[in-house]
Amino acid sequence: MALLDLLNSIGWDRLLAMGSLVLVGACLQGVSGLGFAMFASPLAALWFPELVPGPMLVLSCPLALMTGMRDRRSIEWPMARLALVGRVVGTGVAAVSLTLLSAQTLSVLFAVLILSGVGLSLSGWRVMPTLRNTTIAGLASGVMGTITSVGAPPFAIAMQHMPADRLRGTFGAIFFIGSAVSIAALTAVGRMGAHEFLISLILMPWMLAGFLVSGLLKGRVPAARVRALLLGMAGLGALGILARVLTGH
C-alpha cells in the first residue's frame, strides 16, 4: 500500500520523466563505465530533488555491480583497492563535514576543482592512472559522492587514458562498494530512510532497461570518444552541481 501511495503522490507523468532520466544515465554508464550520476544527478537535483543523493546512490550501486561483472576480467584490482581506501576515507570526511560545514560550500569547491581539471586535461595536461592519483581520486570521490551523489568526476580525470574495458570493469568494482559505503553513511546521519528506498525500488526497472540497452552500444564506441565522453560528463556533473547550488536546491 505504501508503494501505491508513493506512486500516486509522484504522478505518472513525473514518474515517466524520472524513469527516462535514469534510463539514459544507466545506458551512458554501461557504455563508458561511469556517467549515471554525472548525467542524471545534476538534472535530478534541478527537477526531482527527492532523488538526490540517496535514491541516486541506491540505483547506482547495482548498476555499478552489473557493469563491473560484465568486464570483470579487465578489472585492475590493485588500482581498485587503493581507490576504495580513498573512497572510504572520503566518505567518512563527508559524513563529518555534513555535520560541521555547509554542503553547498563543499559542493562549489569540488565543482570548481573538477572544471579546472577538465580544462587542464583538454589543454594537454596528461593525468596518468598511477596508484597515487587513483587514491587521491578515491578520496575526492568519497566526499563528492556522499554529499552530492556525483562521485565519478575525479576518476574520469585520473583514469581517462585507460582502455575502455579496463575503465568499465575497474569503475564498476569501485562504485559498487563505494556507493554502498556512502548509502550506509547517509543512513547513519539520518539522510536516507524508507521513503528514499521506496523511490529507488520504483525506478529500478528503468535502470535495468538502460543497462541492457548499453550492451548493444558498448563495443562500438572508440577509445578517443570514450575519453571525450568521460571529460564531457565530468564537466557536466560539475556544472550541474554549481547550478543546483545557485538555484538553491
**Averaged pLDDT of the chain:** 85
Q: Count each helix (H run) and each strand (E run) in the chain, helices first.
A: 11, 0
* pLDDT recorded at residue 94: 86
For 76, list phi and psi in degrees, rounded to 5. Answer: -90, 90
Of the pLDDT bands very low, low, confident and very high (cuts 50, 70, 90), residue 154 is confident
Do residues 51 and 199 touch, judged by C-beta distance below 8 A? yes
C-alpha cell at 10: 509522484
Asked whether the beta carbons of 105 and 242 are under 8 A apart, the reply is: no
79-103 pLDDT, tens digit per residue, is: 999 999 999 999 998 888 877 777 7
Question: Is the entire prediction scored with pTM above 0.85?
Answer: no
Domain count, the chain: 1
Is there a contact between 21 and 35 (Cβ–Cβ < 8 Å)? no
pLDDT of residue 123: 73
Q: Is 221 left (phi over 0), alpha (psi -120 to 50) or beta?
A: beta
Helix 131-148, helix 103-122: angle, nearest 10: 140
Q: What backbone torsions phi and psi does residue 113 show, to the nearest 5 degrees?
A: -65, -40
pLDDT at 11: 84
Q: Is 93 exposed, middle or buried (0-12, 13-18, 19+ CB in 10 A)?
A: middle
Q: Which of 130, 26, 38 is nearest to 76 (CA)?
A: 130
Mean pLDDT score, 61-65:
95
- The 8-class DSSP code of residue 102 comes to -
Angle between the 223-247 and 103-122 helix axes, to the nearest 10 degrees?
Answer: 150
Query: Residues 150, 37: contact at Cβ < 8 Å?
Result: yes
CA torsion angle 28 227 34 87 (round to 10): -170
Among 22-36, 112-126, 139-153, whose mean pLDDT is lowest?
112-126
Q: Are the CB atoms for 84 and 138 separated by under 8 Å?
A: yes
Flag whether pLDDT at 1 surpasses 60. no
Residue-wise pLDDT tens digits, 4-52: 777 788 888 999 999 999 998 899 888 888 778 878 877 787 788 888 8
Average pLDDT over every residue of 222-233: 72
- Closest among 38, 27, 16, 34 to 170, alpha carbons compared: 34
pLDDT at site 167: 87
Domain enclosing residue 109, as ranges = 2-247
Average pLDDT rounded to a whole number, residues 213-233: 76
* Cβ-proximal residues to 228 (8 Å cutoff; 6+ apart), any chain: none
- pLDDT of 117 above 80: no
pLDDT of residue 138: 93
Band of pLDDT at residue 242, cut at 50, 70 and 90: confident
What pLDDT score was predicted for residue 223? 58
122-132 residue pLDDT tens: 776 677 888 89
pLDDT at 249: 59
Written as nine digits, the cell of 110 is: 569540488
Percent with pLDDT over 70 in the chain: 93
